[in-house]
Amino acid sequence: MSQNFPLPQGHAAEGEPLRIAILAHLHHPISSPFLGGLEMHTSLMADEFASRGHDVTLFGKAGSESRGRVVDVLGRSFEFQRGLAPEQMRRQQQTLDDALGRAVAAVRTGDFDIVVNNSLSLLPYLELADLPLLTILHTPPLPWIIDAVEDGRAPLSPLHRFVSVSARNATGWSAHLPNLQVIHNGIRLADWPAGTPRRPGTAVWAGRVTPEKGLHIAIDAARMAGMELHFAGPVSDEKYFERSVAPHLGRGVHHVGHLDHRNLAGFLGSGEVFIASPVWSEPFGLTALEAMACGTPVAALPLGAMPEIIDADGGRLAEGLGPDALAAAITEARRLDRDGVRRSAARFSAAAMVGAYEDQIRSLLDPDGLPSQPPMPDAALIP
């Protein structure tokens, strides 16, 4: 279902700077050390837009940082928690909804050319139907959005455009959203320098320590491959950590903590191989790409977007889902040429990613000025 909304008047002319509002996911501040790939992507995107001369306003949790303007809509004292009782969960979600509601209200009075939605919330679909909106889909289909679209509570606006961060992630959304495009995530290669001395016999892993990231499989696979495993990242699931990770610490397994970007780059570059061990359909997998940029080859379970990121120069995909198959991929990947690995990562640049976003925005603001890209699966695949 859709409704007819007039195109906005007075938007930026072709080639002129855009007035861009970015709605962040509000669980965590948009600042380093990032709590996840979504926060890192939001920061990179905002900074890249600002560096191109656009007027950027980021609506986020207090403590967020950006080259653009930052508007706090949620206080520092809020801490997102998992595993709460139902009533506590309801109150927590209401706090998040109220904060995003403040951002939406500010957007409506802010005279923006475009709103970029990184929020994972239904609210922008409902409250910004008459404004140009680019939604970037970082997750598999979210039931609160799909259900509202399907039952007509959130009729899709012709002023809204949707892009997925990978072709694999697009498959679940494409039945529900029109003309879904694919624009791969990107990185600034300069942020991930090569040349860190390697630690012989050491594999590295980075990410949130949660069951779906599969650290327990990476531990077993590294051991089978005869390597130590050093891992970095926040412990986001204490029960999982205590049950499946902590018993292995000190026996060839070491947690180096939650690192900021500068220290994370050195850490990723120190490994002979990076292990990516998702046990779910990972929508993208930025840490694998960041490791490749540092020259560290990747051994990965073949789930989610891993086959889109990892080519023969950048790493090896396991031929199965168990630790034995991953161990075999580790053994092969660690032999790869590090210069070739870094060149493989260069296929995914922040400049190409944001340039593709700009093309989508310009064509949305002026449909006769730039042709829309064809729908999935023939969408432009960035690199």
Confidence at residue 179, expressed as pLDDT on a 0 to 100 scale: 85
- The total domain count for the chain is 2
Please check whether residues 33 and 181 belong to one and the same domain: yes
Q: What is the pLDDT along the chain (383 residues), one digit of tens a residue?
A: 233 333 344 455 566 899 999 999 999 999 988 888 899 999 999 999 999 999 999 999 999 999 999 999 999 999 998 888 999 999 999 999 999 999 999 999 988 999 999 999 999 999 999 999 999 999 999 999 999 999 999 989 999 999 999 999 999 999 999 889 999 999 999 999 998 999 999 999 999 999 999 999 999 999 999 999 999 999 989 999 999 999 999 989 999 999 988 899 999 999 999 999 999 999 999 999 999 999 999 999 999 999 999 999 999 999 999 999 999 999 999 999 999 999 999 999 999 999 999 999 999 998 664 434 444 333 333 33
Same domain for 175 and 137 = yes
Judge if 230 and 285 occupy the same domain.
yes
Predicted confidence at residue 252, as pLDDT, reads 93
* CATH number, domain with residue 166: 3.40.50.2000
Beta partners for residue 133, in sequence order: 115, 160
Residues 177 and 218 in one domain: no
Q: What residues pair up with 71 in beta bridges, in sequence order?
A: 59
DSSP per residue over 202-239, as a string? EEEEES--SGGGTHHHHHHHHHHTT-EEEEES----HH
Q: Is residue 322 part of a domain?
A: yes
The token pair at 100 is: 């995003």
Asked, for residue 290, whether it belongs to a domain, the answer is yes
- Domain assignment present for 361: yes
Q: What is the DSSP letter of 213?
A: G
Is there a domain that residue 194 lies in? Answer: yes
pLDDT the model gives residue 14? 60
pLDDT of residue 12: 57
The confidence score (pLDDT) of residue 1 equals 29
Single-letter residue type at 165: V
| Residues 63 and 39 sit within 8 Å (Cβ to Cβ) | no
128, 201: one domain:
no
CA angle 33, 329, 340 (to 5 degrees): 70
Same domain for 170 and 23: yes
H helix or E strand, kind and range, residue 274: strand 273-276
Residue 13, in any domain of the structure: no
Closest CA to 162 of 110, 125, 126: 125
- Shared domain for 181 and 228, answered yes or no, is no
Q: Which two tokens stand for residue 115?
A: 């709103």
Same-domain check for residues 291 and 227: yes
Tokens (6 digits) for 147: 């259900």
Return the amino acid letter for 72: D
Q: Is residue 14 part of a domain?
A: no
Same domain, 197 and 63: no
Which pLDDT value is given to residue 81? 85
pLDDT of residue 166: 95
Looking from the CA of 248 toward its CB, the CA atoms found within 13 Å total 22
Same domain, 169 and 49: yes
**Within a domain: 380:** no
- Tell me, what's the pLDDT at 358? 94
Q: Residue 13's pLDDT is what?
A: 55
Assigned domain for 100 exists:
yes
* Cα 128 to Cα 296: distance, rounded to the nearest angstrom: 43
Range of the domain at 221: 189-345
199 and 286 in a single domain? The answer is yes
Provide the β-strand partners of residue 182: 164
Residues in the chain: 383
223 and 151 housed in the same domain: no
